[in-house]
Structure 1
Amino acid sequence: VTGEQMKAVQMLPGYTHSITNLSETENLVTVMWANEAFDGEHPDTFYEPVLPGKIDKAINPEKGNI
């Protein structure tokens, strides 16, 4: 994904994910959408560490297996 070749990336519910800017610029623009507003009184989002370099190869939109 680049500034010249933008793409939509689907984050599946229930999967831990991380977004890393690998470009040589400091700018990274992301747009997030959720089907409901976050409720701080009843959170359903939890922190879980993401191991660098560990990728679930079963989920790969380039290969069409999502």
Structure 2
Amino acid sequence: MAKTLSFGILHMIVAFTVAYLLTGSLVVGGAIALIEPIANTIAYFFHEKVWDRVRASRAQHAAPHVMA
């Protein structure tokens, strides 16, 4: 859990720094640092759902077909 927390903090620092350097705004940098990780987490959830379907489809096609 400590590793996950430290990566989350690092992610927010990087997001803030990039946004601040691009805009020069502390407010925009702060907003992006808070919103971007949340958006990324939601995107990751759906990304995993898609890959679960891909894996299931591949497993189904790889299974040997038994003739009755």
The TM tier, using the shorter chain, reads under 0.3
Q: What TM-score does the superposition give when structure 2 sets the normalisation length?
A: 0.22
Larger Rg over CA atoms:
2
Greater fraction helix: 2
With normalisation by structure 1, the TM-score equals 0.23
